[in-house]
Structures are given as structure tokens and as C-alpha cells.
Amino acid sequence: MGTQLKDRKIILGVTGGIAAYKACILCRLLVKSGAQVFVVMTPSAAKLVGKETFEALSGHPVSIEIFDRTEDISHIALATNADMVIIAPATANTIAKIAAGMADNMLTAVTLAAACPVAVAPAMNTNMYNNPATQENIQTLIRRGIYVISPAEGELACGVSGTGRMKEPEDLFEDICAILSNRLENKTVQGQLENHQGRLPSPVKPLELTQTRLLPKAFGAGYKVVITAGPTVEDLDPVRFISNNSSGKMGYSLAQVAAALGAEVTLISGPVNLEAPKGVRKIDVKSAAQMLSAVEDYIKSADIFIGCAAVADFRAETISPVKIKKSEDADTLTIKLVKNPDIIATVGKLESNRPFTVGFAAETNNLHDFARAKLEKKHLDLIVLNDVSNKAIGFNSDDNEVTVFDKDGQVAHFEKQPKPVIAQYLMELIFKSAKKKNG
């Protein structure tokens, strides 16, 4: 998850709120995603959580005092080339200092020196949060392009309930992914990121999005996306069936990325051992016929359809109501198979309300020829080719390598990388292509 954070330099600011302990969880999530995390604490925060904890979690020294190091101007050095500053929790005191442009401690100095996106996650008593001074300071931050991740409602440390509770670390993690995803828009088709400094829009006009109403318009905001994933299972009798080795990892990764980029996502999944991504509507199905029925239910309002499922091509003409027994008189068993409905072709050939349609070609030979033929035959906008004969990138593997085609030829090739990374590149390409087609 959150592989768009890989190798990002993120400064995690921790202030003296009781929610400082939650910053440990956020730090772990960021590091696990591949980010380089540098923790900056206020002296008050250091009294609540020891810096040794954050040093162990981040793998980097923690900065507290503005003159911790004398060999360089440490607050400038920290802020240089940072991809993001996230302050969680952000107390009323620190919010006021940032609004006033103060640099009286290491954290406020780093924030003032940062030339990257800055986000704050307020955490404080309800009355303090609702105080006109705090609200005015928050509006000042927003006008200056600082992201304010609205606090949640709930029981606070002071014993009262109300607004002021810092969002949970998992939710903050998704917000960070959403913010940084906007900065990845100008990647090249080979999957290499160009310099994206300064391309993130300022959050001066709050929008209603899945992440938080104060985030800017996300890359996939406003899109309704339907994705199929996993295998289908075709019963032969009560205990036997026809299926394949699809793990669903690619489709689930696409769904997670699409949701993080602001889209409304419906994931129609065959039987897999994966949890539904956060913020995604999951529809469980078993057979190809059930998957088609679910697709027909949700495709009417979809803007984008991605057929990533490994749908069985055939099913038994008749399902035995009892277990098929082997016969002592016969060494063979004949089962008549009939074709399953072609789900992706059904969507691709829609004459009205047809969504931007993307298919997958899992091939073992004549890769490019078969992929192009499938694109044309099924009336697709894009097709994603992968070589399932290669066990390093085939079914059930954690990695993938894909080539993308449209009607004019090859659009992009993404070298072998973890499937969530491939999903990030693919979803950006799909959203960009859909927008281009729709004008």
C-alpha cells in the first residue's frame, strides 16, 4: 500500500499533544511504504514520547533543538529536497506559530523553510479547536496552501467528546498518499518520475473528496471506476471445480490506488485471500455468470471499467448435483464444457453509456500479436499485456511487468516492479487517457 511514497523524503513533525503516541504508528506506516522519514519533535513532544522510539522506527536521528548540529544549518538541511512535511499531531500552539510565520523551534523553522507541500493534522480540546483564534489560524494556513486534515469527532483525552481528535494514523497515511499522488502526474510513460517540484495545486478551494474535504482535487476525483479481479470458479459437482491461479493482487492494487487517487471504486472479485482495500466497495462473486451479472449492475454509472479478473473461458454444461464418482469400468471421464460469457467484450461493445474500457491480456506466447488482436476484437480503449509464462511476474507473484497498447500501438512499458507500484503507474495512465478521450 502507498507505494507512491517509495523513496519520498517525508518530514514528520510531532508536537506536544497527547496524540503524539499515534505518530509512532504513522511513522511505521510511512517507513513500511518505502518512504524516508525524518522526525522533528518539539521539546514538549519529547516529554510524551522519547526520541529513541522514533529513531528506532525511522532509522534516522530525531531533531528537537534548532542547533542540534553545528556542521550545517540543520533546519535548512532537513527541509532541502523534502517531498512533504506532515505535522501530526498539530497543537493549537504550533498552528498559531506557523500562521504567524514564527521559527522559534526546530519544527516551526523547518516548516517555514520547506518548499514542499505541508500538511497539519490538528489535535486538541474541542473548545480550543472551535475558538475563533484557532479557526482563523487554520483559515490562514489554508489560504497559504497548507493542507489542514480536519480532526475527527470522538472522546478526547480531557474526558469530553467533540471535534478535535486527531485522525487515525491509517487515515492520515491515506491522506499523505493522496496529496503526493497529485505530484506524480507528470511521470514519463516508462515509469520514471520527472521533477515535479511546485506542481501541486494549493488547497484554496475545499472540495468534497473521499480523503478529506480540505484536500485538493485528486487525480481520479469525480470518476466512478469498476474493476474485476481474481479468478472465477466453475463448479463441476459439489466438491470439484474449474479455476486458475489468479491471486487477485493486481486488481486489488489497482482498486486501492484508484481510491487513493480520489475515485469511487467498485471491486467485483472472485474468491481470493485478500482484504478489500479501504474506501472500496467490494462485491464478492464466484462464477463468470455471477461476475457478469454484477458488472451489468454497476457498469451503467461507471466512467472507467478495468477487466483485470482471470475469467474462466469455459464452464460445465451441466453441474452434477452429487459428487461425481470414479467408475471401476472406465479410466476416463468426459465432461462437456461450454463457453462462458466474455465480460470485457460485453462492456467494450456497449452502444450507450460505454465506459472507458481497459482489458488485461495474460499471455504465454505471441504476446504482442495476441494483445493487439484482443484489443481490436473486444473494442477496448487500452489493453495491458503481461507474460504469465514467466513465474517471476505471472499468477500469484508479487511483481509484474506490463506493456500497454491502444489502437495506435504501444503506449507504455513498465519494467518488473511490485504490483502496487505497477498499479500506481497504470491508474495514472488510465485516468490520463480517459480524460484525453473525453476531452
- Which residues participate in the annotated binding site for CTP? 307-309, 313, 323, 341-344, 360, 374, 378
Compute the distance between CA of residue 273 and CA of residue 133 in angstroms, rounded to an integer. 50
CA atoms in the 13 A half-sphere facing the CB of 293: 9
Catalytic residue check, 158: yes
Residue 231, strand partner residues: 310
> Residue 42 contacts by C-beta under 8 Å, 6 or more apart in sequence?
13, 14, 15, 16, 64, 94, 105, 106, 107
Compute the distance between CA of residue 193 and CA of residue 83 in angstroms, rounded to an integer. 13
Q: How far is CA 365 from CA 368, 377, 389, 390, in A?
A: 9, 18, 8, 11
Sign of CA dihedral 317, 323, 326, 329: negative
Known binding-site residues equal: 307-309, 313, 323, 341-344, 360, 374, 378
List 24, 27, 158, 177, catalytic entry: 158
Determine which helix (DSSP H) or strand (DSSP E) holds 95, and give its type and residue range: helix 92-99
Compute the distance between CA of residue 51 and CA of residue 57 in angstroms, rounded to an integer. 10
Cell of 299: 457498469
Pick the closest to residue 133 from 173, 100, 175, 170 (CA basis): 100
Contact 40, 20 (CB under 8 A): no
What residues are labeled active site?
158
